[in-house]
Amino acid sequence: MTTFADIRWLGHATFEITSSRGTRFLIDPFIRDNPVTPPALKKLDRYKQADKPTAILVSHSHGDHSADAKEVAKLSGAPVYGEYEYIASLGLPDGKGVGGNVGGKFSIAEVTVHFVTAIHSSSPGGRPMGFVLDFGGGNVVYDTADTWIFGDMALIQEIFKPSVILMNMGGGPYTQDPKTAALAVKKYFAPKAIIPMHWGTFPVLATEADIRAAFPGDDRLVLLKPGDSRAV
């Protein structure tokens, strides 16, 4: 099977996605203070060269998604993409902050990045969003970001038909839990792979056992350990 990207999970909601053509995305960079990120991957200097991103995507302003965005942008020279008011609040140099809103899209090398709805909060800076990354040829990654299940997930499926979902399922007092995430997949999506995120970082969040219990017998579930990667 031909693969179109490599997805590496750094823990919590932080992903590095590298396309088969070398386009690199860093999503929701919470790295240095992330308790589950492997020590070797906490060193932000690696973003100067070896792991230099093409673009940094930030779903919302909460520190567990945005803490290292400005520093990685400074080290790498990569632009930060996100919600318009949030990007404006960062005070980045001209051309290094690219703001948009739900329904907007950007072409980043060969990948089209769409901003879609997420049900959460974000302060300072507007509203939270999810991301749909279209690599072409029906190869589509949907990052739900922090969210609760919502009916317009049906439209995300109808319009984009994601083949891989990076699914928030941490539960606790913050976001949807694994059972609700499983319901969202069942009701709205038909992916080839489901990669859980936002779990196991802090004691109040879901565990691996919670996730496996919510997806019994589902061989589409890809449970990564922080630092692991998966070709898709």
Q: pLDDT digits over 111-146, tens only?
A: 999 999 999 998 877 799 999 999 999 999 999 999
Across the range 220-228, mean pLDDT stands at: 98
pLDDT for 2 equals 85
pLDDT for 123 equals 80
Sign, Cα dihedral of 25, 78, 159, 1:
negative
Strand 229-231 and strand 164-168: the pairing is unpaired
Between CA 193 and CA 48 the distance in angstroms is: 31
Between CA 232 and CA 226 the distance in angstroms is: 17
Between CA 94 and CA 89 the distance in angstroms is: 13
DSSP 96-153: SEEEE-TT-EEEETTEEEEEEE--S--SSSS--EEEEEE-STT-EEEE--S----TTH
Residue labelled with tokens 């999970």: 9
- Cα distances from 213 to residues 10, 106, 164, in angstroms, run 23, 37, 20
pLDDT for 126 equals 77
Total-model pTM: 0.97
pLDDT for 1 equals 60
Rounded to 5 degrees, φ, ψ at 190 are: -140, 60
Instruction: Identify any residues that bridge with 120 across adjacent strands, giving them in sequence order.
Output: none
- Cα distances from 224 to residues 194, 227, 231, in angstroms, run 10, 8, 12
Rounded to 5 degrees, φ, ψ at 179 are: -65, -40
